[in-house]
DNA sequence: TTGAAAGCGATACCAG
DNA sequence: CTGGTATCGCTTTCAA
């Protein structure tokens, strides 16, 4: 009768406290799964909160809370600008959220494997509150993720998923949309019949397998005159990529197009050029970086699938932040559509990257 | 010496007040250009604020302020889902910002012209704090915009700009990127030589003129074997569009492609189909709606330039909200890249729209 | 384990 | 026009 819902005002912790005959301090503690609350009172509080439809006022919480958060960002240094952009996006989002209570610790490593693991361990040992990481190898990640889970440290993956590792969420481009879009572009541009190939890092990595799968099924469905060859694994090595591409061109002279699902497109382009096949082979690449820009400009690459690294960074940070500070659980998989970049709209993206970089430089 | 910057704490209005020997109340008033402050004290406060690097704490402001805002959203009902999506985006953003102090009044009108003006007048008369609107005709907008300016009501445009009308900002797709991307797709798909055409609403509307310009210059630059015909104005009328397209096909049998810059692609498709030219004419359309989906599926339309109406709505609301509540001035032009939708990635977008619509329905 | 009470930083009302 | 002060909803000592 006199409960807040009937008065039209929004329920506060004071309403919960009064309804239960306890203090707001206790309610606050109960709401946060903190220690120092009886299981019994916690249950009562939670129940009452639900009953009267309590929603915390974030402004009040933010204002009164002195809590500092530390999040670790564990990413690859990278050979292209991809990871720089991801990190920039994270930083950007933190600034735009106007968060002074969040500290970001960047742990950037040169190569995969040990240093990746070391960085993750370091973050856990440093006692950060959350981690944003790139999981290159699910298996080596697993023990560390168990550790993180025990310590209740949420982990958000960027760019690639590592399923069943107990991560809070993964932020990435929709792999199916990427592969299928590349296939459709390829099919429309190539027309006619012949073979098309796909290069990837490793067919066992979810991300790459899915892109290939999407590419292949789309070609089959809409461009039956084209056949898709078995995927070429480049192992992230220039020479491997170059050699395999050369061999491919020798063995299949009727090759009409190549879709490079990774950022390792330069060796492929070089191989096609060296085989003097640039005019008969349509190349669709992934990501966007200075060297590739030239190749798009001169027409060697028809289009590139831009994976919006900055947006990935922003979303990853936002998901982690909201979980940490507001207790919300993000979608387990946050995905979005990649952009198609061709000669025509290339400048739009370059300008955008440049502008943002400048803005960032000025602000620091 | 003892100023806050040296103590490591962030400056507050109390710091300003103490430094000036006045009260926080006065500082607060001065900061808001409110009445009841001497020009002199205001100046002093502003200066001191700048000097010590004062940044208002938004949480505190939000918590203590009981101010209610009302914003009017004046948009077309529309024949496709475009405007529904824009409105959904606005609503979505308001919800995600967790704003209970903002009321949105939707003034949706059937047709352009008078009802558009009436809606704008109604909003001003109702005394809203801000307006999000679609400016179909800059000239008829002008007197109303002067009225808005006098009353200090910020106006954000969506989808189309109306320059020099004193609007706070415009949110739209980058028209150059759109036209250029369409051109590049067209060039790559069509190859060879021949003519390509562009349809638009009216060559005098900035948005359409820019898309045409971008399309034309991109074709000229990268696909010199193709020539771009003079733009076809459809005046947003089915029959006009259909007839003009038919005539075009009769007069120029070597037409290779048509880029429809507006949502009026159905009559064009029908005309091409009736002329039995679907297999020789590549159609690139704009936006995404049920009827068009079929045409993409069956291959009549090679690709559509998706203008991300939901994102446009979100950004428009966000820009207006931040201006209203935080006093920030958004970029005058907020633009982003359109998405390319083809058969391959079509489902990704449909799913996304469907999911969001369902989520919205559930929440209401 | 719980309660009382002191803020967090800004706004807004009421006197002066 | 200006100053004092209660207040917004929640977190966080400090005692009990």
Q: Are residues B142 and B181 in the same domain?
A: no
pLDDT band at B136 (very low <50, low <70, confident <90, very high): confident
Q: What is the pLDDT of residue A355?
A: 54
Return the H-helix or E-strand segment holding A120. Answer: helix A114-125
Interatomic distance A83 CA / C8 C1' (Å): 37
Domain count, chain A: 3
Chain B residues within an 8 Å CB radius of A57: 63
Is the confidence at residue A3, as pLDDT, over 90?
no
Of B286, B306, B326, which residue sits at a domain end?
A: B306
Chain A residues within an 8 Å CB radius of B181: 340, 342, 344-345
Give the CATH number for residue B50.
1.10.260.40
**Residue A24, in any domain of the structure:** yes
pLDDT band at B78 (very low <50, low <70, confident <90, very high): confident
Q: Between residues A152 and A86, which one has the greater pLDDT?
A: A86
Is the confidence at residue A263, as pLDDT, over 80?
yes
Nearest residue on chain B to A348, judged by CA atoms? Answer: B177
Closest partner CB to B188 (pick from A57, A184, A302): A302
Is the confidence at residue A349, as pLDDT, over 70?
yes
Looking at the complex, does the CB of residue A340 fall below 8 Å from at least one CB of chain B?
A: yes
Interatomic distance B307 CA / C13 C1' (Å): 48
* Most confident region among B89-103, B145-159, B257-271 by mean pLDDT: B257-271
Looking at the complex, does the CB of residue B7 fall below 8 Å from at least one CB of chain A?
A: no
Q: Are residues B299 and B313 in the same domain?
A: no
Exposed e or buried b per residue across B306-320, where buried means at least 16 C-beta atoms within 10 angstroms of its C-beta: bbbbbbbbbbbbbbb
pLDDT band at B172 (very low <50, low <70, confident <90, very high): very high
Count of Cβ atoms closer than 10 Å to residue A227 Cβ:
17
The predicted-structure confidence for A43-95, as pLDDT tens digits, reads as follows: 999 999 999 999 999 889 989 987 888 999 999 998 889 999 999 999 999 98
Residue lying closest to nucleotide D1, CA to C1': B36
Q: What is the pLDDT of residue A356?
A: 53
Q: What is the pLDDT of residue A49?
A: 94
Is the confidence at residue B205, as pLDDT, over 90?
no
Nearest residue on chain A to B97, judged by CA atoms? Answer: A58
3-state SS record for chain B = CCCHHHHCCCCCHHHHHHHHCCCHHHHHHHHCCCCCCCHHHHHHHHHHHHHHCCCCCHHHHHHHCCCCEEEEEEEECCCCCHHHHHHHHHHHHHHHCCCCCEEEEEEEECCCCHHHHHHHHHHHHCCCCEEEECCCCHHHHHHHHHHHHHCCCCEEEECCCCCCCCCCEEEEECHHHHHHHHHHHHHHHHCCCEEEEEEECCCCCHHHHHHHHHHHHHHHHHCCCEEECCCEECCCCHHHHHHHHHHHHHHCCCEEEEEECCCCCHHHHHHHHHCCCCCCCEEEEECCCHHHHHHHHCCCEEEEEECCHHHHHHHHHHHHHHHHHHCCCCCCEEEECCEEECHHHHHHHHHHHHHHHHHHHHHC
Nucleotide nearest residue B64, measured CA to C1': D8
Mean pLDDT computed over B206-226: 95
Q: Are residues B128 and B30 in the same domain?
A: no
- Name the token pair of B180: 């250029």
Mean pLDDT of chain B: 90
Interatomic distance B23 CA / C9 C1' (Å): 14
Nucleotide nearest residue B34, measured CA to C1': D1
Q: Between residues B357 and A264, which one has the greater pLDDT?
A: A264
Q: What is the pLDDT of residue B151?
A: 86
**Residue A354, in any domain of the structure:** no
**Does the beta-carbon distance from B181 to A342 stay under 8 Å?**
yes
Give the CATH number for residue B244.
3.40.50.2300
Q: Between residues B354 and B149, which one has the greater pLDDT?
A: B149
As a whole-number percent, the residues of chain A with pLDDT over 70 amount to: 95
Which one of A216, A302, A345 makes the best mutation probe of the B interface by having the most chain B beta carbons within 10 Å?
Answer: A345
Q: What is the DSSP string of A15-66?
A: HHHHHHTS-HHHHHHHHTT-SSS-HHHHHHHHHHHHHHT----HHHHHHH--
- Name the token pair of B40: 């002199």
Q: What is the pLDDT of residue A8?
A: 61
Q: Are residues A296 and A184 in the same domain?
A: yes
**Residue B159, in any domain of the structure:** yes
The predicted-structure confidence for B265-300, as pLDDT tens digits, reads as follows: 999 999 999 999 999 999 999 999 999 999 999 999
Evaluate if pTM is beyond 0.75.
yes
Q: How far apart are CA A130 and CA A96, in angstroms?
A: 19
B210: domain range? 175-306
Q: How far apart are CA A13 and CA A11, in angstroms?
A: 7
Is the confidence at residue A4, as pLDDT, over 50?
no
Q: Are residues B194 and B161 in the same domain?
A: no
Mean pLDDT computed over B166-174: 95
Q: Are residues A83 and A45 in the same domain?
A: no
CA-nearest of B248, B274, B276, B275 to B260 is B248
Q: What is the pLDDT of residue B23?
A: 92
Instruction: Give the position of tokens 């933010």.
Output: A62
Minimum distance, in Å, between the CA of residue B228 and any CA atom of chain A: 15
**Residue B359, in any domain of the structure:** no
**Does the beta-carbon distance from B349 to A342 stay under 8 Å?**
no
Q: What is the pLDDT of residue B309?
A: 97
Q: What is the pLDDT of residue B26?
A: 93
Which one of B189, B344, B348 makes the best mutation probe of the A interface by having the most chain A beta carbons within 10 Å?
Answer: B344
Q: Are residues A180 and A283 in the same domain?
A: yes
Q: What is the pLDDT of residue A363?
A: 36
Q: Are residues B283 and B318 in the same domain?
A: no
Is the confidence at residue B114, as pLDDT, over 90?
no
Interatomic distance A61 CA / D16 C1' (Å): 26
**Residue A212, in any domain of the structure:** yes
Residues B181 and A353: beta-carbon distance below 8 Å: no
Is the confidence at residue A9, as pLDDT, over 90?
no
Looking at the complex, does the CB of residue B355 fall below 8 Å from at least one CB of chain A?
A: no
**Residue A348, in any domain of the structure:** no
pLDDT band at B121 (very low <50, low <70, confident <90, very high): very high
Nucleotide nearest residue A14, measured CA to C1': D9
Measured in whole angstroms, how far is the alpha carbon of residue B283 from the centre of its chain?
25
Burial (CB count <10 Å: 0-12, 13-18, 19+), residue A185:
buried
The residues close to strand C, meaning Cβ under 7 A, are A 21-26, 29, 35-38, 40-41, 60, 63-64; B 9-10, 12-14, 24-25, 28, 31-32, 54-57, 60-61, 63-67
Q: What is the pLDDT of residue B252?
A: 92
Nearest residue on chain B to A189, judged by CA atoms? Answer: B189
Q: Are residues A152 and A211 in the same domain?
A: no
Interatomic distance A24 CA / D13 C1' (Å): 14
Least confident window among A268-272, B162-166, B265-269, B295-299: B162-166
Q: Are residues A207 and A280 in the same domain?
A: yes
Question: Residue B228 pairs with which residues in a beta bridge?
Answer: B196
Closest partner CB to B342 (pick from A98, A181, A344): A181
Q: How far apart are CA A58 and CA B278, in angstroms?
A: 56
Q: How far apart are CA A203 and CA A320, in angstroms?
A: 29
**Does the beta-carbon distance from A188 to B184 stay under 8 Å?**
no
> What are the distances in angstroms from CA B10 to CA A64, A213, B15?
15, 53, 9
Closest partner CB to B345 (pick from A60, A180, A349): A180
Q: Are residues A105 and A201 in the same domain?
A: no
Looking at the complex, does the CB of residue A334 fall below 8 Å from at least one CB of chain B?
A: no
Minimum distance, in Å, between the CA of residue B341 and any CA atom of chain A: 8
- Name the token pair of B133: 């609107």
pLDDT band at A141 (very low <50, low <70, confident <90, very high): confident
Looking at the complex, does the CB of residue A343 fall below 8 Å from at least one CB of chain B?
A: yes
Q: Are strands A69-76 and B282-286 parallel, antiparallel or unpaired?
A: unpaired
Is the confidence at residue B115, as pLDDT, over 70?
yes
Q: What is the pLDDT of residue A177?
A: 96
**Residue A39, in any domain of the structure:** yes
**Residue B276, in any domain of the structure:** yes
Q: What is the pLDDT of residue B355?
A: 54
- Bases in strand C with any atom closer than 7 Å to a protein CB: 1-13
The predicted-structure confidence for B19-54, as pLDDT tens digits, reads as follows: 999 999 999 999 987 778 898 899 999 999 999 999
Interatomic distance B323 CA / C3 C1' (Å): 42
Q: Are residues B195 and B314 in the same domain?
A: no
Nearest residue on chain A to B348, judged by CA atoms? Answer: A177
Looking at the complex, does the CB of residue A260 fall below 8 Å from at least one CB of chain B?
A: no
Q: What is the pLDDT of residue B1?
A: 38
Interatomic distance B147 CA / D4 C1' (Å): 39
Q: What is the pLDDT of residue B308?
A: 97
């Amino acid at each position: 009768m006199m409960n807040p819902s009937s008065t039209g005002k929004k329920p506060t912790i004071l309403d919960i406290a009064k309804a239960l005959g306890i203090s707001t301090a206790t309610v606050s503690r109960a709401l946060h799964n903190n220690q120092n609350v009886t299981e019994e009172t916690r249950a009562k509080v939670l129940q009452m909160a639900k009953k009267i439809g309590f929603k915390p006022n974030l402004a009040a919480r933010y204002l009164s809370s002195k809590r500092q958060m530390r999040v670790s960002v564990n990413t690859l240094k990278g050979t292209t600008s991809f990871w720089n952009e991801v990190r920039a996006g994270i930083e950007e989002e933190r600034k735009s959220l106007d968060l002074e209570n969040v500290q970001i610790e960047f742990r950037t490593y040169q190569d995969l494997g040990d240093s990746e693991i070391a960085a993750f361990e370091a973050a856990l040992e440093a006692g950060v509150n959350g981690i944003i990481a790139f999981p290159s190898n699910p298996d080596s990640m697993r023990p560390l993720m168990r550790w993180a889970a025990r310590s209740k440290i949420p982990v958000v993956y960027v760019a690639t998923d590592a399923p069943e590792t107990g991560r809070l969420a993964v932020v990435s481009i929709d792999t199916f949309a990427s592969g299928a879009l590349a296939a459709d572009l390829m099919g429309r541009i190539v027309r006619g019949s012949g073979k098309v190939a796909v290069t990837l890092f490793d067919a066992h990595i979810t991300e790459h397998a899915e892109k290939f799968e999407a590419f292949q099924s789309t070609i089959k469905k809409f461009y039956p005159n084209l056949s898709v060859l078995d995927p070429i694994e480049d192992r992230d090595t220039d020479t491997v990529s170059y050699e395999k591409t050369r061999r491919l061109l020798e063995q299949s002279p009727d090759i009409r197009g190549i879709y490079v699902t990774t950022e390792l497109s330069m060796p492929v382009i070089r191989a096609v050029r060296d085989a003097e096949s640039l005019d008969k082979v349509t190349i669709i690449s992934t990501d966007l970086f200075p060297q590739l820009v030239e190749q798009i400009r001169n027409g060697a690459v028809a289009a590139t699938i831009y994976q919006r690294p900055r947006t990935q960074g922003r979303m990853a940070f936002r998901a982690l932040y909201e979980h940490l500070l507001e207790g919300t659980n993000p979608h387990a998989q946050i995905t979005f559509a990649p952009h198609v970049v061709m000669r025509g709209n290339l400048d739009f993206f370059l300008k955008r990257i440049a502008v943002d970089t400048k803005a960032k430089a000025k602000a620091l």
